[in-house]
Amino acid sequence: MQPKERIVIRALRAAFRIWPFMHGRGWILRAARLLLGSNPIRFDIGRGAFIDGTLDDWMILWTFMCRHEADAPFQRSLDLVQRDAVVLDVGANFGVWSLLASKRGANVHAFEPVPAMVSRLRDHIALNDANSIAVHTIALGENEGTAPFFAVTSRNTGASALVRRAEDDVELRVDVITLDHWIERENIDRVDLMKVDVEGAEILVFRGARRFLSSANAPIVFFEINEKLCASFGATTRDVKQLLVECGYGIYRWRRSKFESVSLEERHEHEDLFALKGRPS
């Protein structure tokens, strides 16, 4: 049976969409917390894809407030997903991007190493009958083996990382594989697009994928970049961009409905960028 969105949830989310200013959204959020309480809620994130969660998790709150709909680079990354495309979601969390890519007809490989988050991701796949999403309970990195991983269990579950950033982070041990090895092991003959959001460890993912990213059939890369998070791994945003350029990419941002070239020297407090080969369209 197709999930449904409660009328009160639909009305609150419509208010977030309609209200054009950041000022005033706090009143809508307070109304939401009053009406919905602290219980898990279920809502449609687009194209009939539903997720469950509570409003004390920033990742749930971001989508509940429809901020992903207003996020132009995020939406552009999904617009680039074609039916029957093969896409990778590296740092899948509980599956917002994976579900929306699946709804566009893509075959999705979702990488998420945190067991509790994998459980939520699998629940969302079952809820949406999203059988085109394959879940891989591993982290992608520069080297093979296992590594400590620090799970954030409250506030912002999307902030889990390979480094500890808060005292209450829960330390886990996770399996790590390079993307080059995984592509070879799984006999993947093509990838059309990969989304990478791994809280500063993007440099490690790309170092472990040099052969793949340098190949003639390398994918579009949609990636998060953040100077402070990169520093946690001994890198700068320039280092991340330089590595991709060495693999044959140009670096772009999506702004005003077009791709704009990004220089290596530009610093990024926080931004989502695209790495493209050939002339952007």
Q: Identify the helix (H) or strand (E) that includes residue 68.
A: helix 67-70
Q: Identify the helix (H) or strand (E) that includes residue 108.
A: strand 107-111
Q: Are residues 49 and 132 in the same domain?
A: no
Q: Does pLDDT of 22 surpass 80?
A: no
φ, ψ of residue 275 in degrees (nearest 5): -110, 120
pLDDT tens sequence across 132-152:
999 999 999 999 999 999 988
Which of the residue ranges 19-23, 32-36, 74-78 would you say has the lowest mean pLDDT? 19-23
Structure tokens that stand for 99 in this block: 């579900």
pLDDT tens sequence across 69-80:
999 999 999 999
User: Is the distance from CB of 51 to CB of 29 less than 8 angstroms?
Assistant: no
Q: Does pLDDT of 244 surpass 70?
A: yes
Number of structural domains the chain divides into: 2
Picking from 71, 100, 229, the residue whose alpha carbon sits closest to that of residue 162 is 229
Alpha carbon 202 to chain centroid, angstroms: 12
pLDDT at position 20: 67
Alpha carbon 125 to chain centroid, angstroms: 16
Asked if residue 281 is part of any domain, the answer here is no
Last residue of a domain, one of 23, 38, 66: 66
Q: Are residues 52 and 6 in the same domain?
A: yes
Give residue 153's domain range: 71-276
Name the pTM for this structure: 0.95
Asked if residue 148 is part of any domain, the answer here is yes
Q: Are residues 48 and 86 in the same domain?
A: no
Asked if residue 76 is part of any domain, the answer here is yes
pLDDT tens sequence across 171-187:
999 999 999 999 999 99
pLDDT at position 1: 67
